[in-house]
Amino acid sequence: MPLAALIFDVDGTLAETEEIHRAAFANAFAEAGLDWTWDVDLYRELLKVTGGKERIRRWLDMLGADAPTLAEADLAALHAAKNAYYGAIVRAGHCALRPGVERLLREARARGLRLAIATTTSRANVEALLPAILGPDGASLFEAAICGEDVLAKKPAPDAYHLALRRLGLAAADCLAFEDSENGLAAARAAGLRTIVTPSLYTAHETFDGAAQVIDDVAAFDLAAWID
């Protein structure tokens, strides 16, 4: 099939951001006077749930009777504070692209391919991250950026990918998705997309049955082999 576009997940795919998210959650919890500690193992478990607010809700469920009562407005404020901390950290230069990502983006554009994002992270996070890791024109590389606020159901539901395809005006067969997790792979495949998986710090233990290719990072990805 001819290739017309590449669609990228963000967290763990474009950049190793999850430790930054974890630090941002810790800062937001401390600011709110909550003595919650999400260590690496716990956060890996919580990452099975996509979306920051959804992750907090899952944590409250895990706490059970010990959970504080948080109104929806309180939860939204806590999540907004976390996103603000995340933005401050990435703008300070504490995040980098995964190996090969910038080369692939530039090569794809040079070959006339279109680029899009399909993520379930918040738009504020994407808007903070792209200029920090790709420079002032980073966001302009992507024709469409579908974020968590844009869909009713987050990954592993395919909603983000369906919307990205509609925005691009392309069929799934014309595109290639890039993901780092089982949830992301399930979402892309449910939308009919061939998917390249680059396991990340928090997803290396997962299995990726059905991926078109599983590689350490996109530095090992040969775009020409998918086009020529």
The domain ranges of the chain are 5-16+96-227, 18-91
Active site residue 39: no
For the purposes of burial, counting CB atoms within 10 Å of the CB of 75, is it exposed (0-12), middle (13-18) or buried (19 or more)? middle
Q: What is the pLDDT of residue 108?
A: 97
Q: Does domain 18-91 have CATH number 1.10.3720.10?
A: no
Euclidean distance between CA atoms 172 and 11, whole angstroms: 22
The CATH class of 5-16+96-227 is alpha beta
- The DSSP-derived string for 41-61 is HHHHHHTTS-SHHHHHHHHHH
Fold agreement (5-16+96-227, 18-91) = no
- Pull the structure tokens for residue 143: 């024709």
What is the per-residue pLDDT across 80-126, written as a single tens digit (0 to 9) for each? 999 999 999 999 999 999 999 999 999 999 999 999 999 999 999 99
- The DSSP-derived string for 57-122 is HHHHHHHGGGPPP--HHHHHHHHHHHHHHHHHHHHTT---BPTTHHHHHHHHHHTT-EEEEE--S-
Helices (H) and strands (E) in the chain — how many of each?
Answer: 9, 6
Q: What is the pLDDT of residue 5?
A: 98
Active site residue 11: yes
Q: What is the pLDDT of residue 2?
A: 83
Q: How many CB atoms lie within 10 A of CB 110?
A: 9
Catalytic residue selected from 9, 159, 180, 217? 9
pLDDT in tens for each of the 228 residues of the chain? 689 999 999 999 999 999 999 999 999 999 999 999 999 999 999 999 999 999 999 999 999 988 998 899 999 999 999 999 999 999 999 999 999 999 999 999 999 999 999 999 999 999 999 999 999 999 999 999 999 999 999 999 999 999 999 999 999 999 999 999 999 999 999 999 999 999 999 999 999 999 999 999 999 999 999 997
SS3 percent helix, strand, coil of the chain, rounded to 5, is: 50, 10, 40
Q: What is the pTM of this model?
A: 0.94
